[in-house]
């Protein structure tokens, strides 16, 4: 059994949809060893996993993705550590996690830190070349290079140096306390193959970024599967990696088909032409339809996990068409009181979830404290009107709120393409209250444009996880200066809240961290830095013969090397 650490307050619940029993298998990672024989795996059908996804694979390395999460990242990449479906952190490429108990994590009197990372023995890349500490040092060099447009530069921006002590040991020096140093996420210091990329990086950074290495079968990673072929927009084929650190996968081949029409994915699942589809490609309504169909045949099963909620981002940057009225907290509060969030949640989750007042669930141990501290926004048109009156808006004869110059309070509502009805539903509620809301459709193609994603003029519906505040952290603002790669797309910034974020990032004591989380949730709700809407469901679907799926950890495929057919 691998060592593990629980990472912060999180919550995960698995429910049964449409009477289908979700098979929960053991989650202990396989031990590294020799490749199992065909007799040991013993599938009776071709050992090919057929996966359908609505989003094309544009890049295979997670740190260099242009926008949306790479759908094949858990298949082709492994990190120093990773979390399972219960939010427990396991060392993967690392032999063990840094700890203050054994001296591998030292906090210095001046507030700086040092961690020692020890890689497992005999690590290899997909091409069989040794993976050593030099690959980690090279990766740090790339991630700290301002000429390289990264989706995020966390946590490397808090590191002053990364040094190879020997082939398996890396010394990381930190400029300040960083609480996740002992529980690194999968993409923290994600290794890069120095033997393939260093020369190109040194010679020509533009050629390095545009290299077919990142987007074709030339890609070499560390995950359970290696890229065999890629037909852009059509299909990616993966082959089992015999060198994978946790043992060769049970499945030999994965065929990932790009199917932009999600209805077609449902049809192909019903026809038995697809074995598995993730939540990004399956809506709650689709899962409900499949569950009803499979009640009799028992051909498939539905997996559903709660790990986040949907919320409103209010634009604070001066973008084209910006509705500056939402810079007034009273207007943001009024908008929240105008939305029937319970009805919205039921409509968007096929009745599986309702309104949320925080990303933390009522089942979370810290929830009672958070519930007492936060400001809530029940549906209340009278409160909406009172708040807007105080902000200088009054209802006119046409039922719309207007300011002193007669302008209406118009607010554009956008949402991610996988939730096309959200802008329509929210706009309808706002119009009933007298706010001139306009739903704006988007597409997956537009979402791949970082500048577009950060330039909504009114409010945008997005997802959020408990205890994660980079969406409202000033340092994470998406601007032209960072090629709009920051995760704070609304431009919200508040010095008081920034101080709380820094304290949370540097506080190691769990009780003190819980106190900070309560304070931060209270602040976010009162200032409507984020407007919480409803708890989000993330279903996945698979044929009954596919076994080993345990739950969601960023992706249901977090343990894909353990999956098998029976």
From the number of C-beta atoms within 10 Å of its C-beta (0-12, 13-18, 19+), residue 199 rates as exposed
DSSP 477-543: B--GGGTT--SBTT----HHHHHHHHHHHH---HHHHHHHHHHHHHHHHHHTSSEEEEEEEEEEEEE
pLDDT at 16: 34
Q: What is the mean pLDDT of the chain?
A: 89
Specify burial of residue 99 (Cβ count, 10 A radius: 0-12, 13-18, 19+): middle
> CATH homologous superfamily of domain 219-305?
Periplasmic binding protein-like II (3.40.190.10)
The domain covering 57-213+540-565 belongs, at the CATH homologous superfamily level, to: Dipeptide-binding Protein; Domain 1 (3.90.76.10)
Cβ–Cβ under 8 Å, residues 357 and 521: no
Q: Rounded distance, CA 26 to CA 506, Å?
A: 35
What confidence tens digit (pLDDT) does each residue in 301-334 have? Answer: 999 876 678 999 999 999 999 999 999 999 999 9
Name the band, by pLDDT with cuts 50, 70 and 90, for residue 44: low
Q: Which DSSP symbol is given to 347?
A: H
Cα–Cα distance between 115 and 81 in angstroms, integer?
14
Could you tell me what percent of the chain has a pLDDT over 90?
A: 69
Determine the pLDDT at residue 37: 41
Q: What is the mean pLDDT of residues 369-383?
A: 97
Beta bridge mates, 50:
255
Express each pLDDT in 518-562 by its tens digit: 999 999 999 999 999 999 888 899 999 999 999 888 899 999 999
Evaluate whether 359 touches 465 at the Cβ level (below 8 Å): yes
pTM of the predicted model, to two decimals? 0.70
The mean per-residue pLDDT over the stretch 133-150 comes to 94
Residue 11 scores a pLDDT above 60: no
CB distance 132 to 195 below 8 Å: no
pLDDT, tens digit (0-9, with 9 covering 90-100), for 91-103 = 999 999 999 999 9
- Place 508 in a pLDDT band, splitting at 50, 70 and 90: confident
Q: Output the 3-class SS for 136-185.
A: HHHHHHHHCCCCCCCCCCCCHHHEEEEEECCCCEEEEEECCCCHHHHCCC
The domain limits of the chain are 57-213+540-565, 219-305, 307-538
What is the per-residue pLDDT across 391-441, written as a single tens digit (0 to 9) for each?
A: 999 999 999 999 999 999 999 999 988 789 999 999 999 999 999 999 998
Reported CATH class of domain 307-538: alpha beta
Using 50, 70 and 90 to split pLDDT, how confident is the model at 45? low
Per residue in 65-77, pLDDT tens?
A: 654 467 899 999 9
* Across 61-70, 244-253, 368-377, 427-436, least confident range: 61-70
Burial group, residue 111, by CB count within 10 angstroms (0-12, 13-18, 19+): exposed
């Amino acid at each position: 059994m691998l060592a593990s650490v629980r990472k912060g307050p999180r919550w995960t619940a698995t429910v049964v949809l449409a009477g289908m029993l979700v098979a929960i298998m053991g989650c202990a990672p396989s031990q590294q060893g020799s490749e199992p024989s065909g007799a040991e795996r013993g599938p009776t059908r071709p050992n090919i996993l057929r996966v359908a996804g609505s989003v094309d694979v544009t890049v295979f390395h997670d740190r260099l993705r242009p926008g949306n999460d790479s759908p094949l990242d858990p298949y082709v990449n492994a990190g120093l550590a990773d979390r399972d479906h219960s939010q427990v952190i396991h060392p993967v490429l690392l032999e063990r996690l840094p700890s203050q108990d054994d001296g591998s994590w030292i906090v210095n009197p001046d507030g700086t830190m040092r961690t020692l990372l020890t890689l497992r023995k005999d690590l290899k890349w997909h091409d069989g070349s040794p993976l050593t500490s030099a690959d980690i040092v090279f990766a740090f060099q790339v991630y700290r290079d301002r000429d390289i447009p990264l989706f995020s530069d966390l946590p490397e921006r808090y590191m002053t140096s990364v040094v190879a002590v020997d082939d398996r040991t890396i010394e990381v020096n930190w400029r300040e306390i960083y609480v996740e140093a002992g529980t690194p996420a999968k993409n923290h210091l994600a290794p890069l193959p120095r033997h393939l990329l260093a020369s190109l990086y040194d010679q020509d950074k533009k050629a390095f970024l545009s290299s077919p290495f990142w987007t074709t079968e030339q890609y070499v990673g560390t995950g359970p599967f290696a890229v065999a072929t890629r037909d852009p927009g059509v299909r990616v084929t993966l082959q089992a990696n015999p060198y994978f650190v946790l043992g060769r996968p049970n499945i030999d081949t994965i065929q990932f088909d790009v199917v932009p029409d999600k209805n077609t994915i449902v049809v192909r699942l019903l026809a038995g032409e697809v074995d598995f589809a993730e939540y990004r490609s399956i809506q709650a309504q689709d899962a409900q339809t499949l569950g009803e169909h499979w009640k009799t045949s028992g051909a498939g099963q539905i997996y559903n996990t709660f790990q986040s909620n949907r919320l409103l981002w209010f634009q604070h940057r001066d973008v084209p068409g910006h509705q500056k009225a939402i810079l007034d907290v009273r207007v943001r509060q009024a908008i929240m009181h105008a939305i029937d969030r319970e009805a919205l949640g039921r409509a968007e989750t096929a009745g599986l979830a309702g309104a949320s007042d925080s990303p933390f669930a009522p089942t979370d141990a810290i929830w009672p404290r958070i519930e007492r501290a936060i400001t809530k926004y029940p549906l209340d048109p009278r409160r909406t009107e009172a708040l807007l009156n105080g902000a200088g808006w009054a209802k006119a004869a046409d039922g719309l709120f207007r300011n002193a110059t007669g302008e209406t309070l118009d607010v554009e509502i956008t949402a991610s393409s996988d939730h096309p009805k959200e802008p329509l539903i929210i706009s309808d509620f706002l119009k009933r209250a007298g706010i001139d809301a306009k739903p704006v459709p988007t597409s997956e193609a537009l979402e791949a444009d970082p500048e577009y994603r950060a330039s909504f003029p009114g409010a945008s519906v997005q997802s959020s996880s408990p205890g994660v505040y980079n969406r409202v952290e000033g340092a994470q603002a998406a601007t032209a200066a960072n090629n709009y790669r920051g995760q704070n797309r609304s431009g919200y910034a508040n010095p008081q809240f920034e101080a709380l974020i820094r304290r949370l990032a540097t506080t190691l004591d769990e009780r003190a961290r819980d106190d900070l989380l309560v304070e931060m949730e209270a602040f976010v709700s009162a200032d409507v830095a984020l407007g919480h809407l409803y708890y989000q469901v993330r279903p996945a679907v698979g044929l009954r013969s596919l076994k080993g799926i345990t739950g969601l950890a960023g992706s249901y495929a977090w343990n894909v090397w353990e999956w098998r057919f029976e």
